[in-house]
Amino acid sequence: MTAELVRGQNHPLPQTRLEIRISAGNPIVAGATLGDEQGTVQGVEWVAHPASPQLPGIEVSKQAAAAHRLAVDLDALPEGVHRVHVLLALVSGAGGPVRFGAMAAPSVAVTGLDGTEVAGYTITDLDAESAVVALELYRRQGAWKVRAVGQGYAGGLAEMLRDQGLPQAAELAAEINDAVARGMARSVAQPPPRAAGDDGRVRTATAGTGAAPDTPAQPQTQAGAQPSSAGDTSAGASPGGPINYQHPGRRTAAPPTPPPAAPPAPPGQPARPVAGDASGWTMDERLYNQVWGMFEDLARTTAAYRSAVDFAESRMEQELDKVLSDPRTRVGPAADTARAQARAKQAGLVEQARTALDRDLAQLTAEAEVVEPALPPAYARWDSPVWQGYQVPMEVPMALRLGDLHLPERTGLRIPMLVRLPLERGLWIDAGRTGSAHGALLDSAELRRLAAETAVAHAARLLAVYPVDEFSLHVIDPAGSAAASLAPLVSSGALREPPVAGAAGVSSVLAALTRRVDLVQMAVRSGATDALPPDLDLAQQLLIVHDFPHGFDDRAVTQLRYLADEGPSVGVHLMMVADREDAQAYGPVLDPLWRSLLRITPVADDHLADPWVGHAWTYEPPLVPAGSQVLQRVLGQVGRAREAYGR
Amino acid sequence: MTVNMSKGQAISLQKADGGTLTAVRMGLGWQAAPRRGLFGSRTREIDLDASAVLFADKQPTDVVFFRHLVSDDGSVRHTGDNLVGGAGQGGDDEAILVDLQRVPVHIDQIIFTVNSFTGQTFAEVQNAFCRLVDETNGQELARYTLTGGGQYTAQIMAIVQREGSAWQMKAVGEPANGRTFQDLMPHIVPHL
């Protein structure tokens, strides 16, 4: 219910968070003063005006405008404030009217935050005044009320402020006029007057009149409905120009090419899968997301199947138990029928579950068949044709294939195991006995050889997918026992320094990497990355430790643990090729080290769990097919590129 | 068209054109507690939670709620916990999506519940409702107004159950008390 007030009338305020809307025929200045119980303004800090638009609990606009919205939160006002005066003043020296009598009567309205009007007041009977106290909000016995005041001052702002007991009234009035004039200069010009007959348009709340009449040729822009936004451009932006919302340090990325469209599916069948049919900005990202989507789908559909089968089994057992528990029905044709029924129910449910699983697996298999050939080198198997056309990349790929994963329900359906680059954790290639059937057939020496070869295959892949100056490899082979496996890395020149041997070599490599971790950490913490010594290699580092703990003393083990803890955050990773049994003498102190590494095996082994339902997945290492020279050829290319770049 | 369902009413989720429903969404919406004064963060927030419990032959096998957002088989998904509520304009603040075609074969009943985690009763919450929507065309199948529901902190909303090869929804609308779905289990069992 709106109350239209007359001068002197008051009205209760139902809430303390309000908006005061002011509209006038010409741009005017709006402000507010806070007063104590006697109505005295205690200082300039109790005046909200265009040069200082925000006080606790009240905010006014920064410039003159024909329409204002002042936000008021009476609860948030400073302690001791009992009155709020809402002021209007004409803009001095801007070519507009110099007295309120020469323009349409301004009106003010108090509204709630939702826009419902509480009270309105039109200030009539003004003549020579150039400033006016429009409203007073005041506290009476703990409740707030509004009073229509309408007290005008012919002497303008300065006289009005002096009347409210402010000693620096003249200075403040000058400051306000200055701020308003600056706001005018920044704001856009008013649009030119419209031709007669076209005047039915609603007057827009444009800010500023200063430049409009004599420069009609300059570009004209309609100011927005919010007057404060028009003149709000920061000092660096061009005056009056549109605000540039673009991040200064970011290039405009070209919109990603749309993912390939799936061909229309024949009716009644699921759509045929397409490689790269996932969200992402690049094909790399789309394929990565698609592979992870397939991984999740396979995990979940298998979970549905397994839980249905488990449930069928347990229900059948319960039903069979029930038949057996009753001595009267244990034997005889009724019992046989009950048993047969229970078995039939179980078989029926398993059959249904299997049908659902087969449907999903067929879909995923079809998807894998199109996705696998589309994978880029970093995601592809070694036998993929993309490795035949390998070229040294210029950019770090998004992820790396560490191997294949499959579940016993469909061993033929293999999901690439992709991990993000740069690596988040190091790798541990377990040279020890595993529980799997594959591992049990091999003797210990053969397992160690396979572990070293797996390590070389992983390291070669990392070397090949990183640009040459962004990845460095170090190898510790204390006893030289992996020389045969490491030969491709060494002979191709992809490995810059030969594998170090002996205790002295171990400690020198560890010391160099520890120094790098320390320096980079220090530089990052103090924000002084440009102060790093020029000889420091800032590329990602991978340290292969073969035959741990052979050649390690206590000090070296401590250093290794330090690298495992602190290295990953600054790009230094470990690849341990070790049998945990060998390091038993160190006891539990090394447990955190093993746990911090991702354990993978040189033979197929089911030790990896997915993040959704925790199935045990069988991991298969990405070994180069027997007799293939792809590894040597790729490493040769990397070696030549490294030489050319002087790395 | 919205069906304001009454207690115990059952509707088949067969669509008008004869096809069966393939995906449903349970939506839950409520209005956030009003901000108070300067320290708006001290406002007592209202946190309602939607949950779905999956049953196989009256045995609970899986549950989807704010701590387990996706059922193990991936067929039921919670869009995430909303701790404060929304504008109260009728939009869903929490939703549970059910892909009925992918629900494992042994699951025959799914029960939807609403709980007030922060303990306000439905009498204190503004503009609270829960509804069941056909996700394929956005049509509302059922709606309950929770506001004004009395001194209760929970409601067992509806059961979606297998009926032959199709699914059927039965409205329950039974008020109860409890902080999470676990507290409701004794009340749920009689409806199975």
Question: Which residues are registered as beta bridge partners of A177?
Answer: none
Query: Does A239 reside within a domain?
Result: no
Average pLDDT of the residues in A502-514: 91
pLDDT tens-digit map of A377-398: 999 999 999 999 899 998 999 9
User: What mean pLDDT, rounded, does chain A reach?
Assistant: 82
**Reported confidence tier of residue B68, pLDDT bands at 50, 70, 90:** very high
Q: How many domains does chain A have?
A: 3
- Which residue in chain B has the smallest CA separation from A296? B74
Query: Does A100 reside within a domain?
Result: yes
Same domain, A566 and A467: yes
Query: Does A594 reside within a domain?
Result: yes
Residue A512 is inside which H or E element, if any? helix A502-526
Same domain, A36 and A169: yes
**Reported confidence tier of residue A207, pLDDT bands at 50, 70, 90:** very low
Is B70 in CB contact (< 8 Å) with chain A? yes
Residue A473: both structure tokens together: 């490899």
Is A312 in CB contact (< 8 Å) with chain B? yes
Residue A54 is inside which H or E element, if any? strand A54-55
Which strands form B154-163's sheet, in the order they lie side by side? B10-12, B166-176, B154-163, B109-116, B48-56, B59-64
Which of A375, A406, A434 is the C-terminal boundary of a domain?
A: A375
Dist CA A379 CA A419 (whole Å): 9
Dist CA A215 CA B133 (whole Å): 60
Q: Which residues are CB-neighbours of A465 under 8 A, at least 6 positions away?
A: A377, A378, A393, A396, A397, A400, A421
Shortest CA gap A136–chain B (Å): 22
Is A308 in CB contact (< 8 Å) with chain B? yes
> What SS3 class is residue A336?
helix
- Are A303 and B72 in contact (CB < 8 Å)? yes
Dist CA A89 CA A134 (whole Å): 10
Percent of chain A with pLDDT over 90: 32
Is A346 in CB contact (< 8 Å) with chain B? no
Which of A186, A218, A247 is the C-terminal boundary of a domain?
A: A186
Q: What are the Cα distances from residue A236, in Å, to A178, A186, A244? A: 20, 12, 11
- Are A311 and B56 in contact (CB < 8 Å)? yes
- Which residue in chain B has the smallest CA separation from A351? B105
Query: Does A21 reside within a domain?
Result: yes
Q: What is the pLDDT of residue A185?
A: 58
Mutate which of A16, A75, A307, A610 to test chain B, going by most B C-beta atoms within 10 A? A307
> Does the pLDDT at position B2 exceed 80?
no
Average pLDDT of the residues in A206-233: 39
**Reported confidence tier of residue A647, pLDDT bands at 50, 70, 90:** low
Same domain, A88 and A178: yes
Same domain, A370 and A465: no
Dist CA A396 CA A592 (whole Å): 30
Same domain, A56 and A152: yes
Q: What is the pLDDT of residue A510?
A: 93
Q: What is the pLDDT of residue A220?
A: 41
Which of A359, A375, A391 is the C-terminal boundary of a domain?
A: A375
Pick from A77, A4, A68, A63: which is nearest to A34 by CA? Answer: A77
Is B87 in CB contact (< 8 Å) with chain A? no
* Residue of higher predicted confidence among A248 and B38: B38
**Reported confidence tier of residue A236, pLDDT bands at 50, 70, 90:** very low
Q: What is the pLDDT of residue A264?
A: 57
> Does the pLDDT at position A226 exceed 60?
no
* Residue of higher predicted confidence among A255 and A422: A422
**Reported confidence tier of residue A465, pLDDT bands at 50, 70, 90:** very high
pLDDT tens-digit map of A132-180: 888 888 888 878 888 888 888 888 888 888 888 888 888 888 888 887 7
CATH number at residue A544: 3.40.50.300
pLDDT tens-digit map of A320-379: 888 888 777 777 788 888 889 999 999 999 999 999 999 999 999 999 999 999 999 999
Q: What is the pLDDT of residue A212?
A: 39
> Does the pLDDT at position A221 exceed 70?
no
Average pLDDT of the residues in A228-235: 39
Average pLDDT of the residues in A38-52: 82
Q: What is the pLDDT of residue A208?
A: 39
Is B106 in CB contact (< 8 Å) with chain A? yes
> Does the pLDDT at position A125 exceed 50?
yes
> Does the pLDDT at position A70 exceed 60?
yes
> Which range, A29-43, A233-247, A405-419, B146-160, is most confident?
A405-419
Q: What is the pLDDT of residue A435?
A: 64
Q: What is the pLDDT of residue A466?
A: 93
Here the ipTM equals: 0.86
Q: Can you give the residue range of the structural domain that contains A492? A: 425-645
Query: Does A9 reside within a domain?
Result: yes
Q: Which residues in chain B are contacts of A305 at CB distance < 8 A?
A: 104
**Reported confidence tier of residue A516, pLDDT bands at 50, 70, 90:** very high
Same domain, A451 and A532: yes
Closest by Cβ to A352, choosing from B56, B70, B105: B105
Shortest CA gap B4–chain A (Å): 30
> Does the pLDDT at position B169 exceed 50?
yes
Average pLDDT of the residues in A625-647: 87
Q: What is the pTM of this model?
A: 0.66
- Are B74 and A303 in contact (CB < 8 Å)? yes
> Does the pLDDT at position A493 exceed 80?
yes
> Does the pLDDT at position A573 exceed 50?
yes
Q: What is the pLDDT of residue A238?
A: 43
CATH number at residue A92: 2.60.60.30
- Are B75 and A304 in contact (CB < 8 Å)? yes
> What SS3 class is residue A18?
strand
Same domain, A353 and A448: no
Question: Which residues are registered as beta bridge partners of A420?
Answer: A399
Closest by Cβ to B73, choosing from A76, A300, A349: A300
- Which residue in chain B has the smallest CA separation from A305? B104
Query: Does A338 reside within a domain?
Result: yes
pLDDT tens-digit map of A269-320: 666 788 888 888 888 999 999 999 999 999 999 999 999 999 999 999 998 8
Domains and their CATH numbers in chain B: 10-32+42-191 (2.60.60.30)
Pick from A317, A304, A301: which is nearest to A361 by CA? Answer: A301
Same domain, A21 and A160: yes
- Are A353 and B104 in contact (CB < 8 Å)? yes
Same domain, A488 and A625: yes
Query: Does A363 reside within a domain?
Result: yes
Q: What is the pLDDT of residue A333?
A: 83
pLDDT tens-digit map of B16-57: 555 677 888 999 999 888 877 777 667 788 899 999 999 998
> Does the pLDDT at position A203 exceed 90?
no
Same domain, A363 and A430: no
Q: What is the pLDDT of residue A239?
A: 47
Closest by Cβ to B72, choosing from A76, A307, A312: A307
Same domain, A572 and A455: yes
Q: What is the pLDDT of residue A374?
A: 92
Average pLDDT of the residues in B135-142: 82
Question: Which residues are registered as beta bridge partners of A152?
Answer: A132
> Does the pLDDT at position A198 exceed 50?
no
Query: Does A365 reside within a domain?
Result: yes
